[in-house]
Structure 1
Amino acid sequence: LKSILRMLWEERMDWFFGIDMAIYSDPERPPIVPDGFLSLNVERVFDENLRLSYTLWEEEVTPILVLEVVSTKPGGEYTTKLQEYARLGVLYYIIYNPKRRRKARLEIYQLQNGSYQLQTANPLWMPEIGLGIGCEPANYDGLTREWLYWYDENDRRYPTPYERAKTESQRAELESQRAELESQRANLESQRADRLAAQLRALGIEPEVS
């Protein structure tokens, strides 16, 4: 998700995507550490320094989206963390549980009137962010499995940097092949014109030069 955002919002400096980074809401409270979170309208970097943590009393912006990935067993994603993110005012809370078989692996909650409501769409368009989020099987980094992706408002998945580079490489190869075909066609036309001119001269006719 972060690598795709870097590509999509390359020119923007008003967003930050943290991975395994502590979020401090109060100096007297222990931090909460989501697997990933997105904040908008914040500085992407502080000069040449990078964030070591995300402190709400300094940033003055609550993350708009938080992601938790369930590993071998739940770690409060459906209870204490859900309550804590609601308390902080995180608008979208996403839980991805790849081990689930009978229930949905991806759950997207939206904060409404102070509590989270489960959304059913996959992908889900989030107008406050200008992106959709969802999951689908695909190949990434040589591994075929289900991945989380960003989507546009028409549910079209945004490509990964590797996919875009591959597409651009294929496009460049097609352009090269097209140029080669045009060159071959031009050569054939030139050879044809030369043969026709030779035939006319053999008949004592001097071909017109255009």
Structure 2
Amino acid sequence: MFQFKYPAVQSDPPLSPRETLPTMYDLPSENPEEPGLPDEFHDLQPQLLSFTFRPRLFFPEQLFCGSDMNLYYDVRHQNWYKRPDWFGVVGVPRLYDGGDLRLSYVIWQEGISPFVVVELLSPGTEKEDLGETSSSVNQPPTKWEVYERILRVPYYVVFDRYTDTLRVFSLVSGRYQELNLTTESKVWMPPLELGLGLWQGEYQGINRLWLRWYDEQGNLILMDAEREKQRAEVAEQRAEVAEHRAEILAQRLRELGIEM
């Protein structure tokens, strides 16, 4: 699926820097388990998910979203953790102890598992993300094993931005089953009364396919900035309509010989 490209084969004329410069996935890291820090897409996509995660059955202060945050899941092995690209929890306080930002998400303290986890495929992690690996003896379980068997996360979402492929797995009788998505690559999550799907549009100046939340009518859940822009456009339209009506009224009055 992914091709490591460094070091690049030299050519004449030389290839462009985009084709020859190494990525963080090509070069070794001081931590062999983490070849690189999240790339820009891994920053932007979770932001967009968090800004639009608004299940109407829950108040904003009852929602928590985490991205690239340590999720500790086993009180018997307190140094074991997974770090989902994004996860959403419902029914927990937005702030830790009612007034502070979390530094991690500790299951045995919170008491509530994430309702949905999203992994964005990266070189070197795709097999574990898709459940194609298994844990060794005396080693921590894989992501798939943690999400499916330990945390029992109801919805597990995997998105490959290189192929724009969205896959969604739902927990059925304790095991993940892949869902058949609609032709628009959308999935509806009834307990949340919220859907997740692919959206072609611009976010932070980048136009591409993004994961977005939507409501039961298929309308996108808007970010605050989008909502303000929409309100401004509606206000402008109403002002234009009012101005047009005023011009028509003035014209009729002039026809009657009445000057305003």
Instruction: Note whether the superposition's TM-score is higher than 0.5.
Output: yes
**1:1-210 map, 5 Å:** 1-5=49-53, 11-27=59-75, 28-29=77-78, 30-46=80-96, 47-75=98-126, 76-79=128-131, 80-87=142-149, 88-100=151-163, 105-121=165-181, 122-194=185-257
Q: Which amino acid aligns with 2:73?
A: S
- Unmatched runs of 5 consecutive residues or more in structure 2: 1-48, 132-141
Aligned sequence identity (%): 31
Q: Bigger CA drift: 134-143 or 155-164? A: 155-164
Q: Which amino acid aligns with 1:53?
A: S
Query: Aligned with 1:72: secondary structure?
Result: coil
Query: Aligned with 1:194: secondary structure?
Result: coil
Larger strand percent: 1
Query: 2: CA distance between counterparts of 1:145 and 1:81?
Result: 27
Q: Which residue of 2 aligns with 1:201?
A: none
Taking only aligned residues, the RMSD between alpha carbons, in angstroms, comes to 2.3
Query: 2: CA distance between counterparts of 1:167 and 1:86?
Result: 40
TM-score by length of 2: 0.67
Structure 1 residues 117 and 106 mapped into 2: Cα distance closer, same or farther (>3 Å)? same
Alignment check: 8 A CA contact 1:123 1:155 kept: no
Query: 2: CA distance between counterparts of 1:195 and 1:38?
Result: 64
Query: 1: CA distance between counterparts of 2:157 and 2:247?
Result: 55
Query: 2: CA distance between counterparts of 1:23 and 1:158?
Result: 26
Which one has a bigger Cα radius of gyration? 1
Q: Bigger CA drift: 146-155 or 87-96? A: 146-155
Equivalent pairs, count: 193
Q: Bigger CA drift: 21-30 or 48-57? A: 21-30
How far is 1:181 from its partner?
1.2
- Unmatched runs of 5 consecutive residues or more in structure 1: 197-210
Query: Aligned with 1:186: secondary structure?
Result: helix
Structure 1 residues 154 and 57 mapped into 2: Cα distance closer, same or farther (>3 Å)? same
How far is 1:8 from its partner?
6.7
Q: Bigger CA drift: 105-114 or 182-191? A: 182-191
Alignment check: 8 A CA contact 1:7 1:161 kept: no
TM-score by length of 1: 0.82
Q: Which amino acid aligns with 1:95?
A: V
